[in-house]
Amino acid sequence: MKQNSKYNWLILPAFSALVFVLTLFLRQRAEFVEKWYAQKVYPLIASLLSNISAIFPFSLDDLFYVFLLLIPFILLVLIFTKRLKWKAAGKFLINLLASSYILFYLLWGFNYFRSPLQDRLGITDREPNTEEFVQFIYQYVAELNQLHCDFDSIDKAETARLIEESYQQLAPVLHFDYPMGKRNDKKITFSNFYSKSGITGYFGPFFNEVHVNKMVLPIEYPFVLAHEKAHQLGVTSEAEANFYSWLVCSNSSSKQIRYSANVFILLHFMRQAYGLEEYKSLVEQISPEVKADIRIVREHWNKLRNATMDKTASKINDAYLKHNNIKSGIKDYTGVVDHVMNFSLDSAFQQRYHLAPH
């Protein structure tokens, strides 16, 4: 028995190695992940964890990350005060990291290997020509100009309610069983620190929590909130979460919510259009009011951002996304352009969308 207990500390590291091998296997089994994990297992996990975490007004994920960061220092103190040996500290740290790795994938991370959005929603993937792309932006800009509204303030509680209402209405179109738990947004505990890296929000997989940076401007809040709620629903791709956010916000009865999402999606379209002959003409079509809103947001984050931290965070996020089956890394965010175009050009999906209760 003593011989066996000597190696008990290797159980979790061995299990984490098996989980790693499983991720390699599931990368090639999207339909299996979609059917069994994304549609059956994860909804149960999301409902259980989100209902528990909703009891607490503060972020449990933030506390967990602080704990992970502090543990090495606590272990060093215990070692130097002779309360713990190096070997025991090392085993504890390895087991903690192994446990975190296992929990990440079991509680949410396996969603990275589910079917892509086009397959899930039945949207035809097509490549528009340049003329179609440019004409779409012209029309998009014209509609956005008409949609412009003031954003001096926003009722966050009402905004959250309306976004949730849109998610409920579009659940049949987006193929998930509403409600899949609770999506009460929580402020990021260290919002000022996150702002230096340009992070407006994040989803905490360990306690199924939606977070919005308290530094976001009122005009950003609806789009960021809907984006993070999409992650809670098991959407891992940033491009897909952007698309969910845009579609859900565009479906809202609130003009503020519709404008918020559409102004930020426009930025992705303009980045894609940069370099085209028509780019200058497209920019000129954007109304002064919309341009002013974009400038305010840009200046706001430029004041908060720390260039070194922003660059470092981008590199970490890029590596993280690529490791988890998002081949384009941080460029995945701009992939929302393809999704919006596919949605707009797919008449069959358009019909299903408009048949959804509004």
pTM of the predicted model as reported, rounded to 2 decimal places: 0.94
- Same domain, residue pair 100 and 122: no
- Same domain, residue pair 165 and 55: no
- Same domain, residue pair 333 and 236: yes
- Same domain, residue pair 65 and 175: no
User: How would residue 319 be classed by pLDDT, with cut points 50, 70 and 90?
Assistant: confident
Q: What percent of the chain has pLDDT over 90?
A: 84
- Same domain, residue pair 325 and 347: yes
Domain range for 46 is 2-113
Instruction: Report the alpha-carbon distance of residue 220 to residue 259 in Å, rounded.
Output: 10
- Same domain, residue pair 37 and 127: no
The average pLDDT across 110-125 equals 94
- Same domain, residue pair 189 and 276: yes
Quick: pLDDT tens for 64-78.
999 999 999 999 999
By the 8 A CB rule, do 150 and 218 touch?
A: no
| Domain finish residue from 113, 148, 168 | 113
- Same domain, residue pair 122 and 270: yes
- Same domain, residue pair 64 and 130: no
Q: List Cβ neighbours of 216 (8 Å cut-off, separation of 6 or more).
A: 200, 201, 224
* Top mean-pLDDT range of 226-235, 267-276, 325-334: 226-235
By the 8 A CB rule, do 86 and 79 touch?
A: yes
Residue 101, pLDDT above cutoff 60: yes
Greatest alpha-carbon span in the chain: 78
Q: What is the pLDDT of residue 208?
A: 98
Quick: pLDDT tens for 141-176.
999 999 999 888 999 999 999 999 999 999 999 999
Quick: pLDDT tens for 260-272.
999 999 999 999 9
Instruction: Report the alpha-carbon distance of residue 333 to residue 308 in Å, rounded.
Output: 21
| Domain finish residue from 80, 113, 146 | 113
Q: Cα separations (Å) of 98 from 51, 94, 201, 306, 347?
A: 26, 6, 26, 32, 47
Chain-centroid distance of CA 23 in Å reads: 20
Quick: pLDDT tens for 193-229.
999 999 999 999 999 999 999 999 999 999 999 999 9
119-157 burial code (b ≥16 CB/10 A, e <16):
ebbebeeeebeeeebbebbeebbeebeebbeebeebeee
- Same domain, residue pair 179 and 229: yes
| Domain finish residue from 93, 113, 133 | 113
